[in-house]
Structure 1
């Protein structure tokens, strides 16, 4: 593990053609004032035109011109430097865009295995599918090949840069041999046209094309000049193309084009069926993103030259590695990266974090030369302490009774992983099975297995693997990797006895438990197979869990997050502290995230939905009433109402989480909600899917949602829901404040996704990539700074902001104060001790607190939890139908509770948010602070010993 020079806080910006380098530059003073030290940028290298995210890189050797010029980028980084800030850059080593905009891919499609770039891409040039040797299967057709051909959707066209096959927006280059042959034939015919004077250029062109190795590029320049100079040559060429492209209704007229296509280094195929034969590794199942062979040093150098230069110049001060699990050998890649960085000036401890989704109790390999993950592990731990564990258990009963399904989440994941293996990764599975079959043939205990048995074992063990992947890269198998593989194999043998013997053999292969008689080459083949399998398991988990199961299991969807465990009942505070102590020991500079560009819901949406666990009985009563009131609004499709019970519960929770705070945001909410629900339904793959969309179902779903939100007389649901959501919105906001403070002061580097410094009620992408109103944020922060300086302490300001909580300024104020305190005390929060604190009295179950200490410098973080439940339990609180009133808790709710301080802690404390000075009490030999004093004005407190 590195000892990096970390940021104090990062702010993630999603760059695209609508938000450029120049736009980011104007934000730098604001970000500095907010307390940020690093601008955390989405990928900035050249990507597909119009890319909304930058992950579809087309040229890693240049910056994306849609974001601005090199001078604009330099101006941005110089402005960052002037403000004491750096640039944390997201890079994409796993894949590139597969299309004509990518010159390396284009050259590979034109020249096949002979292209100097063919080895850059993870292509199987000798696949098991017949007829694909030396070719790449391109699943770009919207219908079967024969139909597309005879519908004249595939055409040969002549353009300034050569001969191409056109399929709507796709352009595919012809091989040099095909292009040269066609051009030579046209040139001969043109030279022999009667009644036309001879053209010396045509004679020269023919001589050029008849050479053993013709220069087609130069030849085409000559021909294109003739084409645009002589109308009769243009007429001739256009006629030839028209005839070549066939005539609808005359099948034999397409024979020439069919033959031409068969000569190319690519084979075009229907996207839906091609998944069984595709012979290049993709990013998950996205055929338009082709994976790179990053283990090849030439590929590494070619794709990282610009990135390393930016790091050498100091313009980039940190790197985020996207999808590290897609790499063949993540450790070797990261070691090579750090080696190249350390050779470029004083960068021996360059700040690098990896996008890695950890399973339960899984730890990032400690040998990796990185500072940690991008924070999904922290996100789920933090979110879990705001879920009431008793209430979550009651929600189990509601969910089971409503849906009739008793399946736990792990079973759902297993089932859906098997499903996506069959539907999305059939070709990858079959290729792995054939490779395993070759290994079995060389093993006296394995040669009796059929290919079907080996494939079944592959499916079972992959579907039961409890993590995204293992990291075996040599003949030494780490204990953690062995545990997960043995666990998966045992599950496969127990759950599917018929697959038991093959699972046992596969387990031996994956754990490299060789028989003595295998040669060194055969042993190396086992290792190659294992490393290839490791690249396969991550996409299966991502598509089976993240993009299917998380949209199917709807008990409490605030837990349905990347790397989350929706079947759990939250996380005890003690577990939060345990994980934080491990974090400070092993990964003190990992990212602390709460919202990202990939989260299923923003932090504020999750916080609202979490409140339902505090009021399970009231929630259940309302769900039952809403179902009755809305039953008549459900369209019937094939005799069944839409939506079903599971989807209906999902809709109600989504409304609770995302309902706008401001009236002006309601106008667009309906459109956002409908688009989100269609996406969620397709991801769930129950009634519709991306592979097989059902427009009738999707239309019925949209109709239902539109109907229940219509502000008409007699809409009892909408009337009650709007009252109910005010309660969940209020207590969700209080929880969000607690999340923000814990993120800032816990071990790790706090990260803020664009716009989340105010309330942000975004759903999954593309909803969370909507433009951010930065002008308002800049204005509000300037006003808050001025008011804070005038207040000279902040108590009145804090109370005023909390009373006006819907405008979001209270969140902005908290973040501003806490981040600036953290920036002023960097060492305290990076190297200071982490000391969990307990409370006494009734409030002990509603408090999360810890101290940070570095020598004589101390800070205390104190956050209230589950305030809706505490309000209900407070005897003086008025509760209607099991719901708490909205309004900050009176001091008497905490009157018997105190925070127990460490023995050697100071006796005098300053509240950063309110300016109040608190003196510790001495009770029963312990120093304490009354919780009633700590939470007198705000539901959170950040104290310093200064």
Structure 2
């Protein structure tokens, strides 16, 4: 199998409205754009109507709603004809816990005896009485007794046997209950005459069921399916049997208003291998591992070889056939042993246990100084590390410090981001993972029983230690899989335990024991089986630190801490300063050495805000004085629009700042998009408020608060004589949008040319102002994009020119972003050696523009390319270090003019490394720039580099070549 490395990927979100056949039609467009690999959301069979594909119901089949195998064959053939690959997102951690999943249904029907019981991460012996051999199903909208006596459960016969229905949910009935059901027809009732004894044919079928072996093996299930088929045939064709069965069902299903009539149904439910419960019970007593607290997504034991084979058979077949050329592994941190999984995956794909012979990237959230484990056989991550690194280029650190003061003075919380994270992680464990934490504490207690120094620790003390240390854990997880612990993992554990003991001295002894377990510091005389138990606890512990971090940070703290919400991104550090320019270069060079084929993402299906929204909001860090003036005015003007909820005005200062930043970042460029945006905004604000959990939440939504929040926002967006906010917002937002667009153009070019594989999320080749999902999964109008690209290509054909200035003047239509993406991707695809492994050389600027330039060179075997983009342009236009930047009195908005030529850049120059050519040609504009002499080497005048376009991709020039465009 040949290793294929993408040069650029493009993510498509598949669903029943946008399937494989629709994707096939896009292949010529994506190829023309410069994309080399289609990056597909999960394609395996998922739940009906799934909008994302992560709720897999059958990993052995392609999703029928997307078109199935025939449609995939058509798509992959179209990709092959254009020399393009297919990077497929797969989900090894979990499956859908619903009736569409045949494996899950089998487990519910047969319990621990099901051959699929080992597939799922279920605790069959939980502490709760009466739950041995059962699965807790948190599916009820009310307490069990209420739901039962309201007649919400209904027993019915279908062609595949008896099923219990709870509204639209189907729950299988175990074979041992069939005799009980059929006997109800002959048991009599007080209201209706009974149909008599059980018909002979039904009696025979019941007898055959009684004789089936107790073990649910293949023979048992085959015989059971044959019997249920005959039962359905009998029901359909024998009136006597049908009347008898209908009476049995009526007798069991009960009558609303007569509680005693539900006793039979209650008894039937009690005898199943599952227990339906009111949904809030899940977070306290669930006995299967879930994905991030989502009860409809049950975790699987993919570390088991048989489970791996069963769940990966189709994916492996597609890869071996060349239809899939790369894999993106979802939620790698949820696996029991990620390294073992990745080794097995590569071995199955390539036949080799060593190295990454097949292109694989993992969804891994790295901390600011964290790196992927060096021994993982992968090519990198799905790109959040790059996303946050490049975003920091466009945030002004000094301005960010000023924003902190502004934020606190206008209603922001007193706590630091780190303190908020600690509290939100503890809240997540209490509200979402209390059952899992209690189970971990119980496992730790069993280990303590065998340790003389820990034996007298109470279970409550150990539970407290588990929660405290997990709340203080600095990274998503460690990867201990043997009896040795690396120095880096030792450091993370020591840091977490020390912080936990500081915060809660009373838990110090228990934390110390937990630290010994995590570091595998057992006594020499500990038996081998207990050493394995210690290791198992550690590996189990590691599966939960990630979900706790995700729910505490991404889905809580990042909606509570609103200093500059463009920093509140997956894998981001909103409370820390952004990486300075030298650090950006250092990390890019390190990336080239270690993970040169990692994805460079800027927008994904999981980002909180699109790349263009973030770039707009970043501008506030450049003009903090202007922002504080607007914020104080807006709060004063809009105070009268605030509804009163529980005696308090809505929103509070923290949420009000969140709303204003959101409006500045996501406001549409076209007037006809405003009504749709308002609807999207309303849903987004409700989601954001529930995630923050301050005044409403997902477990107990407060509809009155949410209504008040939306009412306030919509009222301030209504133009009128008395609405002073509206015209001022529009003026200010226009300035933010102008500089945000310039930042976006710079970001695109840096993404495409930095070490790594540039990744584009669907639709972002034009301006995209999407918010968090489901907003970012809206349909994309590809017809508009295809028409625009066709026009650009037609303009450059036959030696004609692309009017760059016209694109810049009409930047609001998005063609300028498409143009830059197209030109840069085409150049990258045509020069793979420069970007796949070419040397990365940071460049420095001198003159007035110093600090507002990000530039670097790529070199390979004597071939060069230079990249230069401006940054922090609003700050530059506001006077660099003038009053607006220093936090003095607010002045006029920075002028909305293009940062081009001598007028902007004066005598600023770009210092070139030794050995560079003397003449350069801008791939984007066709202009040539000659290097001049200066003390210490050659320089390029920035006024010429950015003469007609505010970004430059420079290749060695050819004086004889005609212009590419003007």
- The bucket for the TM-score relative to the shorter chain is over 0.9
**Alpha-carbon spacing, 1:675–1:11, altered in 2? closer, same or farther (3 Å):** same
Q: Within 5 A, what are the aligned runs for 1:483-882?
A: 483-789=491-797, 792=800, 794=802, 797-873=803-879, 881-882=891-892
Conserved 8 A contact 2:609-2:771? yes
How far apart are the structure 1 equivalents of 2:939 and 2:400? 32
Conserved 8 A contact 2:9-2:39? yes
How big is the shift at 1:677? 0.3
Q: Which residue of 1 aligns with 2:954?
A: 943
How big is the shift at 1:688? 0.5
Residue by residue, what CA displacement relative to the aligned partner does 1:29-61 show, whole Å, maximum 9, x if unpaired? Answer: 000000000000000000000000000000000
How big is the shift at 1:249? 2.6
How far apart are the structure 2 equivalents of 1:305 and 1:224? 34
Q: Which residue of 2 aligns with 1:904?
A: 915
How big is the shift at 1:179? 2.2
Q: Alignment partner for residue 884 of structure 1, among 894, 897, 902?
A: 894
SS of alignment partner, residue 844 of structure 1: coil
Q: Which residue of 1 aligns with 2:67?
A: 68
Conserved 8 A contact 1:848-1:865? yes
How far apart are the structure 2 equivalents of 1:686 and 1:656? 23
Residue by residue, what CA displacement relative to the aligned partner does 1:873-911 show, whole Å, maximum 9, x if unpaired? Answer: 179999993410111125233112100000111111110
Q: Which residue of 1 aligns with 2:316?
A: 308
SS of alignment partner, residue 511 of structure 2: helix
SS of alignment partner, residue 549 of structure 2: helix
Q: Which residue of 2 aligns with 1:390?
A: 398
SS of alignment partner, residue 849 of structure 2: helix
**Alpha-carbon spacing, 1:498–1:589, altered in 2? closer, same or farther (3 Å):** same
**Alpha-carbon spacing, 1:196–1:415, altered in 2? closer, same or farther (3 Å):** closer
Q: Within 5 A, what are the aligned runs for 1:93-132?
A: 93-132=92-131
How far apart are the structure 2 equivalents of 1:657 and 1:365? 36
SS of alignment partner, residue 308 of structure 2: helix
Q: Which residue of 2 aligns with 1:351?
A: 359
Conserved 8 A contact 2:919-2:931? yes
Conserved 8 A contact 2:356-2:378? no
How far apart are the structure 2 equivalents of 1:186 and 1:759? 66
Higher deviation after alignment, 533-542 or 152-161: 152-161
Conserved 8 A contact 2:8-2:36? yes
SS of alignment partner, residue 828 of structure 1: helix
Q: Which residue of 2 aligns with 1:462?
A: 470
Residue by residue, what CA displacement relative to the aligned partner does 1:676-733 show, whole Å, maximum 9, x if unpaired? Answer: 0000000000011111100010111111111111122321111110111100001000
Q: Which residue of 1 aligns with 2:414?
A: 406
SS of alignment partner, residue 873 of structure 1: coil
Q: Alignment partner for residue 427 of structure 1, among 427, 431, 435?
A: 435
Conserved 8 A contact 1:461-1:492? yes
Residue by residue, what CA displacement relative to the aligned partner does 1:620-669 show, whole Å, maximum 9, x if unpaired? Answer: 11111111111111100111001110000000000000000012211201
Conserved 8 A contact 1:817-1:912? yes
How big is the shift at 1:206? 4.9
Which runs of 4 or more aligned residues in structure 1 lie more than 6 Å from their structure 2 counterparts after TM superposition?
187-190, 193-200, 344-348, 874-880
SS of alignment partner, residue 449 of structure 1: coil
How far apart are the structure 1 equivalents of 2:542 and 2:764? 35
How far apart are the structure 1 equivalents of 2:496 and 2:354? 44
Q: Within 5 A, what are the aligned runs for 1:207-286?
A: 207-213=207-213, 215-286=223-294
Q: TM-score, normalised on structure 1?
A: 0.97
**Alpha-carbon spacing, 1:450–1:371, altered in 2? closer, same or farther (3 Å):** same
**Alpha-carbon spacing, 1:875–1:792, altered in 2? closer, same or farther (3 Å):** farther
Q: Does 1:923 align with 2:934?
A: yes
How far apart are the structure 2 equivalents of 1:437 and 1:196? 58
Residue by residue, what CA displacement relative to the aligned partner does 1:110-169 show, whole Å, maximum 9, x if unpaired? Answer: 000000000000001111222211111111111111111111112212222211111111
Q: Which residue of 2 aligns with 1:90?
A: 89
Structure 2: which 5+ residue stretches go unaligned?
A: 214-219, 958-966
**Alpha-carbon spacing, 1:929–1:820, altered in 2? closer, same or farther (3 Å):** same
**Alpha-carbon spacing, 1:483–1:880, altered in 2? closer, same or farther (3 Å):** closer
Q: Which residue of 2 aligns with 1:205?
A: 205
Q: Which residue of 2 aligns with 1:27?
A: 26
Residue by residue, what CA displacement relative to the aligned partner does 1:462-515 show, whole Å, maximum 9, x if unpaired? Answer: 000010000000111111111101100111112211111111110000010111
How far apart are the structure 1 equivalents of 2:865 and 2:182? 77
**Alpha-carbon spacing, 1:261–1:731, altered in 2? closer, same or farther (3 Å):** same
**Alpha-carbon spacing, 1:624–1:196, altered in 2? closer, same or farther (3 Å):** closer
**Alpha-carbon spacing, 1:377–1:207, altered in 2? closer, same or farther (3 Å):** closer
Conserved 8 A contact 1:164-1:172? yes
How big is the shift at 1:406? 2.7
SS of alignment partner, residue 61 of structure 1: strand
Q: Does 1:913 align with 2:919?
A: no
How far apart are the structure 1 equivalents of 2:29 and 2:848? 41
Conserved 8 A contact 2:626-2:890? no
SS of alignment partner, residue 842 of structure 1: coil
Conserved 8 A contact 1:187-1:205? no
Q: Alignment partner for residue 477 of structure 1, among 477, 485, 509?
A: 485
Conserved 8 A contact 1:180-1:216? no
**Alpha-carbon spacing, 1:31–1:484, altered in 2? closer, same or farther (3 Å):** same
How far apart are the structure 2 equivalents of 1:657 and 1:684? 19
How big is the shift at 1:216? 3.8
Conserved 8 A contact 1:591-1:748? yes
How far apart are the structure 1 equivalents of 2:927 and 2:438? 67
How big is the shift at 1:210? 4.7
- Name the Cα RMSD after superposition: 2.2
Conserved 8 A contact 1:595-1:602? yes
How far apart are the structure 1 equivalents of 2:881 and 2:172? 76
How big is the shift at 1:232? 4.7
How far apart are the structure 1 equivalents of 2:353 and 2:491? 41
How big is the shift at 1:402? 1.3
SS of alignment partner, residue 839 of structure 1: strand
How far apart are the structure 1 equivalents of 2:730 and 2:260? 65
Q: Does 1:37 align with 2:36?
A: yes
SS of alignment partner, residue 380 of structure 2: coil
How big is the shift at 1:401? 1.0
How far apart are the structure 1 equivalents of 2:511 and 2:484? 21
How far apart are the structure 1 equivalents of 2:425 and 2:503? 15
SS of alignment partner, residue 843 of structure 1: coil
How big is the shift at 1:400? 1.0
Residue by residue, what CA displacement relative to the aligned partner does 1:512-537 show, whole Å, maximum 9, x if unpaired? Answer: 01112211111110000000000010
SS of alignment partner, residue 547 of structure 1: helix
How big is the shift at 1:194? 9.8
Q: TM-score, normalised on structure 2?
A: 0.95
SS of alignment partner, residue 772 of structure 2: coil
Conserved 8 A contact 1:138-1:269? yes
How far apart are the structure 2 equivalents of 1:90 and 1:666? 34
